[in-house]
Amino acid sequence: MRHLLLILILSYTAHALSLPEKFTADFTQQITNPKKKVITYQGKVYFSNKTFFKWDYTSPTKKQVCSNGRELTVVDHDLEQVSQYDIDKGFNFSKVLKNAKLHKKNIYVAKYENKSYTIQVDAQQRLQSIAYFDDLDNKVQIIFKKVKYAKGNLSKKIMTCKIPKAYDIIRG
């Protein structure tokens, strides 16, 4: 009986999702609007210390999106413009994962801030994809490749958006 209980406890903890201290990955983000029009973005994502993230878009447009959990900075290189916003309720990825429940093998479902997220992981529990509907009823699917998990924090230089001096800055 003890062995059965231990096996059940170990299998439950093996299915718990947790966020690494930091990770980097290549990503493809596909957004499908309600009229089934699709736009696909590609780039690299950096995540550090539960609240810091940076999305470095390379295609079809060059853009950087950075956040420290309190402020969001968007650098749009096509428009030569920077938008900065204070975040009232930021997207807390660690809380999304904490709310995730195993749905079926390697697929989790999480509810957070009135949204449902479907999260798929590989055999080592590393992120493969996340899907959800945004506030405009667009279906958003992000597929991660070349995922690298590690301990510690990424450097401030990596996590900060580079703002060229000639760009216009807009506070939102």
Render pLDDT for 51-85 as a digit per residue (tens, 0 to 9). Answer: 789 999 999 999 999 988 888 899 999 999 999 99
What are the tokens at 39?
Answer: 């736009």
pLDDT at residue 6 is higher than 90 = no
Secondary structure letter of residue 157 according to DSSP: H
Mean pLDDT of 16-23: 72
**What six digits make up the tokens of 55?**
């999305």
Q: Which of 40, 28, 20 is nearest to 143 (CA)?
A: 28
Identify whether 164 is preceded by a cis peptide bond (ω within 30 of 0): no
CB atoms within 10 A of CB 43: 20
Q: How far is it, in rounded angstroms, from Cα 90 to Cα 14?
A: 28
Closest CA to 52 of 7, 101, 19: 19
pLDDT, tens only, 84-140: 998 766 566 777 878 889 999 899 999 988 889 999 998 888 889 999 998 899 999
> Model-level pTM?
0.81
Structure tokens at 74: 């968007």
> Cβ atoms within 10 A of the Cβ of 112, count?
17
pLDDT at site 89: 61
- Boundaries of domain holding 157: 2-171
Name the more confident of 70 and 26.
Answer: 26
Number of compact structural domains in the chain: 1
- Within 10 angstroms of residue 26's Cβ, the number of other Cβ atoms is 15
Residue 21 pLDDT level (bands cut at 50, 70, 90): confident
d(CA 172, CA 170): 6
pLDDT of residue 39: 96
For residue 124, give the CATH number of its domain. Answer: 2.50.20.10
Residue-level pLDDT at 55: 95
pLDDT of amino acid 8: 31
